Amino acid sequence: MFRYRTGRRPSSLSPLHALALVVLILLAGCQMQPPEPVDEDKMAIDRMLSLIDERLDVAEDVARAKWNSGAAINAPEREAQLLDRVADEASEAGVDEAFAREFFEKQFDASKQIQRRLQLRWVQEGRGPFANPPDLAEEVRPVLDRLTPQLIDSLSDMQRIARVEGAGRYLEARARVLVQDDFDGEPRAVALRPLFEVMAR
Ligand X SMILES: O=C(O)C(=O)C[C@]1(C(=O)O)C=C[C@@H](O)C=C1
CB of 147 to ligand X, least distance (A): 9
Q: Does 113 bind ligand X (CB under 6 A)?
A: no
- Contacts with ligand X in 3-22 (CB under 6 A)? none
**Which listed residue (48, 90, 103, 111) binds ligand X by CB under 6 A?**
111
Q: Does 78 bind ligand X (CB under 6 A)?
A: yes
**Which listed residue (44, 48, 49, 62) binds ligand X by CB under 6 A?**
62
Query: Quick one: 75 or 189, whose CB is closer to ligand X?
Result: 75
Q: How far is CA 97 from CA 94, 100, 101, 109, 200, in A?
A: 9, 5, 6, 18, 20
Q: Does 141 bind ligand X (CB under 6 A)?
A: yes
Q: Does 74 bind ligand X (CB under 6 A)?
A: yes
- Per CB under 6 A, the segment of 13-21, 26-34, 78-86, 167-175 that binds ligand X is 78-86
Q: Does 69 bind ligand X (CB under 6 A)?
A: no
CB of 175 to ligand X, least distance (A): 19
**Alpha-carbon gap, residue 48 to 153, rounded angstroms:** 9
**Alpha-carbon gap, residue 135 to 133, rounded angstroms:** 6
**Which listed residue (42, 64, 106, 112) binds ligand X by CB under 6 A?**
112
Query: Quick one: 42 or 112, whose CB is closer to ligand X?
Result: 112
Query: Quick one: 84 or 165, whose CB is closer to ligand X?
Result: 84
CB 170 within 8 A of CB 45: yes
6: phi > 0 → left, psi -120 to 50 → alpha, else beta; which?
beta
DSSP states of 126-138: T----SSPPPIII
Query: Quick one: 150 or 162, whose CB is closer to ligand X?
Result: 150
Q: How far is CA 33 from CA 27, 29, 75, 136, in A?
A: 10, 7, 47, 48
**Alpha-carbon gap, residue 60 to 133, rounded angstroms:** 11
- Judged by DSSP in three states, 94 sits in coil
**Alpha-carbon gap, residue 56 to 62, rounded angstroms:** 10
Mark 86-105 with x for binding to ligand X (rule: CB under 6 A) and - for no binding: --------------------
Residues forming the site for ligand X (CB under 6 A) = 62, 74-75, 78-79, 82, 107-108, 111-112, 141, 144
